[in-house]
């Protein structure tokens, strides 16, 4: 990570640096300077539904204009939509104002390149270098102009529908879709309806403050209840910016990102379209790894973060990857993770196979997993402790190859995440508590 950029752009609490009007104005100017140096003077800006989006959108516009770069506004638009539109409009970059699954009082700025991928680390470094310089302004005749793309939503809806086979229909399915009061509220229900589904909407009334609040991919209780009430075939949950997908089946049982990836791979094998293997993360459930091995599908783990999953996919020239949290990437359909596209792929497989959401997971059984967050004192390093290392080795020997242990530091808080997986839930929980106790003893 750079001085300002994290693994997914720049993010923080609104009003606290760097998510302040003055910093974001300078960020727009710095990004504009870096792009203009390469002869690119056109960018697209989309946002989710947070009230702070208006303020940050205006600040970015002013910064880009001062650097001589033209801005085109997309309005509320899912993150993957901005990636797609940046590519199709041949813009120099696409900017998304969003903090994804975070609460309304957070916000962030993330960038896409002209190819619809996240910015290269080289370009991020150039932007950071300009951020440390004095802000200036081009002459009046060179100032950037601002305009709005009025048909952005319609264009993206058609793009999403193109991922669904033309010979199929969702007409026999009743689907509950939860848009987390976020950027997909005017997109996802329309996509599913136009593909024939009977759609029941929840989380589609954004007011600027309710994004991700008790709804969406990070809180499935409301969706589970609605699916059972409506006797729907399936529930689809997206997060605030639309790049995460979680599913619940007809009984309200959660289908997470690992299970969605497995279902898509299983269908791709049947269709003869699977390219190479699958990329997960260090947090991907071992049950998926075992199930993929039975299908003779190679599997590799990347660091946590869809950026790292994408890097691994591109380096291996594979097409499907994802995280258990619901980031699903299929490079046959899009250049970035897309919750709506992933949902469409899952639904098309259900229709083609004539099966339920639960039946889509035949052949995969998730291993019980225990995750404990242990706070540590900054300046100490529990991971270097001999006692902690000894406890980890002892548990790994006891698991005997039928489970795994993972300890990692949080990227945002002084926490050690202790994760143990195995075949027996009670045993796994006891092992995780044993290791967590040794980590706590370091403080």
Active site residues: 100
* Size of the chain, expressed as the number of residues it contains: 443
Cα torsion 74, 77, 80, 81 to 10°: value is -50
Q: What are phi and psi of 378, to 5 degrees?
A: -55, 140
Strand pairing partners for 369? 421
Of the candidates 125, 133, 112, the residue with the CA atom closest to the CA atom of residue 2: 125
Task: Give the whole-angstrom CA distance, residue 182 versus residue 185.
Answer: 6
What value, to the nearest 5°, has the Cα angle with vertex 178 and ends 176 and 183?
A: 140
Residue 123 makes CB contacts below 8 A (sequence gap 6+) with: 34, 113
DSSP state of 281: E
DSSP state of 327: B
243 labeled part of a ligand binding site: yes
Helix or strand holding residue 433 (H, E): helix 425-440
Residue 5 makes CB contacts below 8 A (sequence gap 6+) with: 124, 127, 128
Task: Give the whole-angstrom CA distance, residue 135 versus residue 145.
Answer: 19
Of the candidates 99, 40, 90, 46, the residue with the CA atom closest to the CA atom of residue 70: 40
DSSP state of 243: -
Task: Give the whole-angstrom CA distance, residue 45 versus residue 60.
Answer: 9
251 labeled part of a ligand binding site: no
Tokens of 383: 């991971």
239 labeled part of a ligand binding site: yes
Say how far residue 373 (Cα) sits from the centre of its chain.
22
100 labeled part of a ligand binding site: yes
Q: What is the CA radius of gyration of the chain?
A: 22
Binding site listing: 100, 239, 241, 243
Binding site listing for Mg(2+): 100, 239, 241, 243
């Amino acid at each position: 990570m750079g001085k300002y950029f994290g693994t997914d752009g720049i993010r923080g609490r609104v009003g606290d640096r760097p998510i302040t009007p003055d910093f974001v104005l300078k960020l727009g100017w710095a990004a504009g300077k870096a792009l203009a140096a390469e002869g690119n003077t056109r960018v697209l800006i989309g946002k989710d539904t947070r009230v702070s989006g208006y303020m940050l959108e205006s600040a970015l516009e002013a910064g880009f204009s001062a650097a001589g770069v033209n801005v085109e506004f997309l309005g509320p638009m899912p993150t993957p939509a901005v990636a797609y539109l940046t590519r199709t409009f041949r813009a120099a970059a696409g900017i998304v104002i969003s903090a994804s699954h975070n609460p309304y009082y957070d916000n962030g700025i993330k960038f896409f390149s002209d190819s619809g991928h996240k910015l290269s680390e080289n370009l991020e470094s150039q932007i950071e270098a300009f951020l440390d310089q004095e802000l200036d302004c081009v002459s009046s005749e060179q100032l950037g102009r601002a305009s709005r793309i009025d048909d952005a939503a319609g264009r993206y809806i058609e793009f999403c529908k193109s991922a669904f086979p033309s010979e199929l229909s969702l007409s026999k399915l009743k689907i509950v879709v939860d848009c987390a009061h976020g950027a997909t509220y005017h997109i996802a229900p329309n996509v599913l309806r136009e593909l024939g589904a009977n759609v029941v909407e929840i989380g589609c009334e954004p007011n600027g403050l309710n994004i991700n609040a008790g709804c969406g991919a990070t809180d499935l209780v409301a969706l589970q209840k609605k699916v059972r009430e409506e006797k729907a075939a399936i529930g689809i949950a997206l997060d605030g910016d639309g790049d995460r997908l979680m599913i619940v089946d007809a009984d309200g049982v959660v289908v997470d990102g690992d299970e969605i990836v497995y279902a898509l791979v299983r269908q791709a094998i049947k269709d003869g379209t699977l390219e190479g293997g699958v990329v997960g993360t260090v947090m991907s459930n071992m049950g998926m790894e075992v199930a993929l091995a039975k299908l003779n599908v190679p599997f590799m783990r990347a660091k946590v973060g869809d950026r790292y999953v994408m890097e691994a996919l591109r380096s291996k020239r594979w097409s499907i990857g994802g995280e258990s949290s619901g980031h699903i990437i299929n490079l046959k359909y899009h250049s970035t993770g897309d919750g709506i596209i992933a949902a469409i792929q899952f639904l098309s497989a259900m229709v083609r196979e004539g099966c339920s959401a639960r039946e889509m997971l035949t052949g995969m059984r998730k291993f019980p997993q225990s995750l404990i967050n242990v706070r540590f004192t900054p300046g100490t390093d529990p991971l270097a402790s001999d006692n902690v290392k000894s406890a980890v080795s002892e548990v790994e020997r006891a698991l005997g190859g039928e489970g795994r242990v993972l300890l990692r530091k949080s990227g945002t808080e002084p926490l050690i995440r202790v994760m143990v997986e195995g075949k027996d839930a009670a045993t796994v929980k006891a092992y995780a508590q044993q290791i967590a106790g040794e980590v706590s003893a370091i403080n």
